[in-house]
Structure 1
Amino acid sequence: MQFRDIVALIRQLLGDHFLQEVHEEAIQPYVKVAPVHLPALARLLYEHEQLYFDYLACVTGIDNGPEVGTMEVLYHLFSIPYEHALVVKVEVPRNAEDEPLPQVPTVSDIWRTADWHEREIYDLLGIRFTGHPDLRRILLPADWQGHPLRKDYQTQDTYHGIKVRAESPPEDPFQA
């Protein structure tokens, strides 16, 4: 099944309004969906007999920075038996420092591999996955301050008395 066929089937089953954007010309063609529609789309992609996206290869989080004011989550899906692929993109507003974290519904109840991918995105970018069964930091200590892959992240000076930030940047060994 080709990308156009997948999009046509999604529109037929869920309605024309369901997909916010369709980007067939991208290097990896993708569809963009509102976070509220992600669970229904994910369920359809996994359960529909003609689609059967049984493999969630990767979930990627992106911070577009404070200037743009958005964050994205991309889901790279494959159907092993049917040999077709799809990228699903969800965009959320980026939160300011004292505001609640952006939220995207979990898909870990559909694809088990999303469990750790979502935890990593939560840990490093600060996107909360609602409904996740165990959303906690996976790479950093539970009491770490901030989310290091955010474009405006400021490393804390110390962590439990250990110096975290260098006084000055290290010299570039490649400069003559």
Structure 2
Amino acid sequence: MSDQTPAPRDEAENLPAAPGTTPEPVQIGVRHGMFGAQDSGDTSGYDGLVSPILFPATAVRPYGRYFDEVADLLQEALDDRATPYTDAVERVVVDRDELTLFIRREHLLAVAQALRDEPALRFELCLGVSGVHYPHETGRELHAVYHLMSITHGHRRIRLEVTAPDDDPHIPSIVSVYPANDWHERETWDMFGIQFDGHPSLTRILMPDDWPGHPQRKDYPLGGIPVEYKGGTVPPPDQRRSYN
């Protein structure tokens, strides 16, 4: 059966945990408005919107699909390399039909090496790394997210997620394992300020070398450029008047 095809309903070992046994999402904060603008008026009409910021809870076995097999194989591979699985993998999340392994940053290289080299896993491709900034998640504000694919085993896909605090934004580079990640790590450093230790040349790739700050962080100042349309000028968002 293809990895992309759901298992028959009578194969209980391949089904996700039953409703009621899956933990509820974890609320880490509240979002006000639609676009996160706080230093100027929200003229979109959504300024009164209040919504919780939710993180998926830790998954409960069985995870479903091929996810249990990948977790078991990774545990065996790490144990063989003298890196205990419980030390390396902080938690497992299954959400929106994706498997995410939260990896402690000091074990990222060992996990990446095992996922690439173990014959039963063979995640040969890292499709890149992207950054996320969660200012309300104290001590874990910066996240680096890696998407891996195994061509050998039917295009299986998993995600790795690694966190770092704002005051110590260091995560090991995995360029030695996945060389093409060179440019993706540079972009994530440029936009979010994550320091990828061991990167061969961690320099800006999108912004000028002397650019101050990291533009995709949520605490970066809102900016813009004036837009002229048929004789009328629309100022940048942070210069528009507010509405009560």
What TM-score does the superposition give when structure 1 sets the normalisation length? Answer: 0.81
AA matched with 2:107: H
2:131 corresponds in structure 1 to 61
2:179 corresponds in structure 1 to 112
1:47 Cα deviation from its structure 2 partner: 0.9
What TM-score does the superposition give when structure 2 sets the normalisation length? Answer: 0.60
Contact 1:33 1:88 in 2 (8 A): yes
Gaps of 5+ in 2: 4-65, 79-83, 224-234
- SS at 1:62 equivalent: strand
**Structure richer in helix, relative to its length:** 1
> Are residue 31 (structure 1) and residue 98 (structure 2) matched?
no
Alignment of 1:1-176 (within 5 A): 2-14=66-78, 15-17=84-86, 18-65=88-135, 67-69=136-138, 70-83=141-154, 84-95=156-167, 102-154=169-221, 166=236, 168-169=239-240
Aligned residues: 157
Contact 1:148 1:155 in 2 (8 A): no
AA matched with 1:13: A
- SS at 1:29 equivalent: strand
AA matched with 2:67: F
AA matched with 1:118: E
Contact 2:169 2:195 in 1 (8 A): yes
**Larger CA Rg, structure 1 vs 2:** 2
1:155 Cα deviation from its structure 2 partner: 6.2
Gaps of 5+ in 1: 96-100, 157-164, 171-176
CA distance in 1, matches of 2:101, 2:177: 19
- Aligned identity (percent) is 31
- SS at 2:119 equivalent: coil
AA matched with 2:120: Q
Residues 104-161 of structure 1: CA deviation (Å, up to 9, x unaligned): 10011111221011000000100000000010000111111000111111269xxxxx
